[in-house]
Structure 1
């Protein structure tokens, strides 16, 4: 599988809220980047210009490396969506600087999450106040995706997370789901959001082609054990993931494309692009 086979045409624009790709149509794909020293060169070598990339915000690093990596990738010709972790932002002034940097680099969308830091570094303890200040500081020129949890959030009830989405959807442009190995669960989640009044397009969080041990460590760390157990009951695909080798997302992508309820795919690469090209 190659990156080109995963990617839709370079433009990954989101249509009007509530609309999803037609059943059976190829889904646009965004690839998640972890900000490391050599990541820009890595993606430049393996991904074509115009590829849509999202850049994570790691709690031990803060927002600085995320924005620096996003700017570097944007100037290399990629379509970039940096993650902004609310609890990692130290002040409203720092957020204003992020907005200016994004504007200068032609970045028009971010992904706003609460973040994994135990204590807020500044005034934002969740994504809602971050979204409010982002809208004000950018004058509405920067769109913002928000997080969704098909398998639940480890710290909050499903009802709490649904209420939070309803409260902030007027400030958001899309919902991006946590990593999940079950297409049916993602589709159920997207349909549930529609029934409950969340009209944002849903992007499905899916693992890329990643070595088995690396993927299981990451999945268990972020709390997606239930869909790993589901894979174990699903025959050859699950056994390949749990017993060795590379995990391939092709089967889940095909199922999602046939379902017609998600807008696109957020591909968790863990910076493993050599495997994606195999």
Structure 2
């Protein structure tokens, strides 16, 4: 089993659910959705940290309203024992404040925290609907001096993830890669999510005729356990798995994290 961290959405009751089903000490990342805002992300992350989890708040550059707000977030991380954040650009059409990109936010965080906060960044094995592949690569090349690792968008093909990691190494990006894997969710929900974020090509993989493809779709639900096991067999496996749980904490990969 590759080292696995869990991603949750900061909805009502999720902290209690994590406490009930995930052991203290596990790494749990907390999304920052445009309609939720960074406050809900930070509140949830601080509560999880207070209960002994390695909480990692997502910080979306375009959702940060000011440098003063960012300074407050960094202080909250310090006082709560949070040592890592995950930095993304965010999906807002217009920035709420001075940070239009993940890189600009990372540089400010590094300064405000005196480089004490570890920062993860996003990677896109199948590209991004609104950003060219060259721009994505140049962004990672610029961020890697500040980042500790890359977390990929959810992907359903071990080969695609392996090729992506090979490409990064060829292009001089040496950061460890955590493979983004969707948790066990209903097939219809998975199809909608995949279409929205642009990972349709690897989603076709799980509709194929191979043994692995068949094992990923059982009945009406996608099963992630076999995909995770296939990742461990790659010539150069990822450094770990980032499990997109969609707050479904009753699944095989989560159970394995729970030990």
TM (normalized to structure 1)?
Answer: 0.87
Any idea what SS the aligned residue of 2:232 has?
helix
1:206 aligns with 2:181: yes
CA distance in 1, matches of 2:226, 2:215: 13
Mapping 1:138-153, distance limit 5 Å: 138-153=113-128
Aligned to 1:263: 239
Offset of residue 261 of structure 1: 3.2
Q: Paired residue for 1:166, among 133, 137, 141?
A: 141
Aligned length: 253
Any idea what SS the aligned residue of 1:159 has?
helix
1:104 aligns with 2:79: yes
Structure 2 unaligned spans of 5+? none
Structure 1 unaligned spans of 5+? 1-25
1:184 aligns with 2:159: yes
Offset of residue 242 of structure 1: 6.4
Deviations 1:66-89 (A, max 9, x none): 000000011111111110000011
Q: Paired residue for 1:273, among 243, 249, 252?
A: 249
Mapping 1:37-186, distance limit 5 Å: 37-186=12-161
Any idea what SS the aligned residue of 2:87 has?
strand
Any idea what SS the aligned residue of 1:164 has?
helix
Any idea what SS the aligned residue of 1:214 has?
helix
Any idea what SS the aligned residue of 2:168 has?
helix
Offset of residue 238 of structure 1: 4.1
Contact 1:211 1:245 (C-alpha < 8 Å) held by counterparts: yes
User: Taking structure 1 as reference, are residues 27 and 237 closer, same or farther at Cα in structure 2, changes over 3 Å only?
Assistant: closer
Q: For CA contacts below 8 A with separation 6 or more, give which structure has more relative contact order.
A: 1
CA distance in 1, matches of 2:193, 2:120: 22
Deviations 1:167-191 (A, max 9, x none): 1110111111001001110111011
Q: Which moved more, 1:123-132 or 1:212-221?
A: 212-221
Deviations 1:58-112 (A, max 9, x none): 0112111000000001111111111000001101111111101111111111000
Offset of residue 235 of structure 1: 3.9
User: Taking structure 1 as reference, are residues 240 and 184 closer, same or farther at Cα in structure 2, changes over 3 Å only?
Assistant: closer
